[in-house]
Amino acid sequence: MARRALLTGNTRKGDKILRDFAAQQSQVAITIVPDIVAPEAYHAAIQGTPPPFDTVYNTASPFTYRNVGSNLQFLEPAIKGTLNLLKAVKDNAPNVKRVIWTGSCASVIDYDNLVSDPPRLYTEADWNRLHGKGSARGSVDSLQSYISDLDESNSRLWKLCFSSTKDASMPYIPVHTCVDVRDLADAQFRAMIVPEAGNQRFVLCARQYSFQDICDILRSHFTSPN
């Protein structure tokens, strides 16, 4: 918006967005899409957006850490929501030149082989290998795997600290990656205006961070445990 772009956002509730960007309300419009999985979910929103607009952003689909019975609760919004948006653009927005899709590191990282020796450098050519039948149970299996890993980690940590043996291995440490949201916003904008960015995939990552980094940040902001 600092570059005077006009934005129409599709959301289930837009009042907070408008409040957060009160100074830019002349550049922001909100259309309500109650259910992105419903047939023709985006058609009214696309038809109601003042033309001409030439770029569509599709951000990461909803995610929750609640217990779920089926990964369809993740797959349906991700797949059907995206297809609904693309169909709405195809049917109603002939001026659109580029659709920019934003995902997460979950589509890149091989979670079955997180620890590698030598360390692995992920690139835009890498994809998470989970697919097909397995993905229908992916979230449940991932939660079960996380609980199993947590139990194993706690057991090994206890052994390391209190056992008389000296050969206990360190507990598993998960992958933590981060990117500055301002860098993400800049990359999103460049994906719209740079011609060579078309039909390309980009992985954004500033660095990895450790539990020690988390502790240091907490300590710098909170001097007392209370």
Q: What is the predicted pLDDT for the residue at 97?
A: 92
Structure tokens given for 135: 């993905």
Higher pLDDT, 40 or 162: 40
Q: What is the predicted pLDDT for the residue at 132?
A: 47
Position 147 pLDDT exceeds 80: no
pLDDT tens track for 97-110 = 999 988 888 788 88
Higher pLDDT, 82 or 175: 82
Using only C-alpha atoms, what is the Rg of the chain? 22
**Mean pLDDT along residues 16-31:** 84
Structure tokens given for 36: 């992105």
**Mean pLDDT along residues 82-90:** 91
| Domains (range + CATH), the chain | 3-138+171-209 (3.40.50)
Q: What is the predicted pLDDT for the residue at 8?
A: 85
Higher pLDDT, 180 or 168: 180
Using CA of residue 66, residue 68, residue 71, residue 75, what is the dihedral sign? negative
One DSSP character per residue, 76-108 reads HHHHHHHHHHHHHHHHH-TT--EEEE---GGGT
Contact 139, 74 (CB under 8 A): yes
pLDDT tens track for 172-217 = 556 678 889 999 999 999 999 999 999 899 999 888 888 888 888 8
Position 114 pLDDT exceeds 90: no
Contact 123, 203 (CB under 8 A): yes
> Among 87, 211, 86, 92, which residue's Cα sits nearest to residue 157?
211
pLDDT band at 143 (very low <50, low <70, confident <90, very high): very low
Distance CA 221, CA 61 (A): 32
Q: What percent of the chain has pLDDT over 70?
A: 73
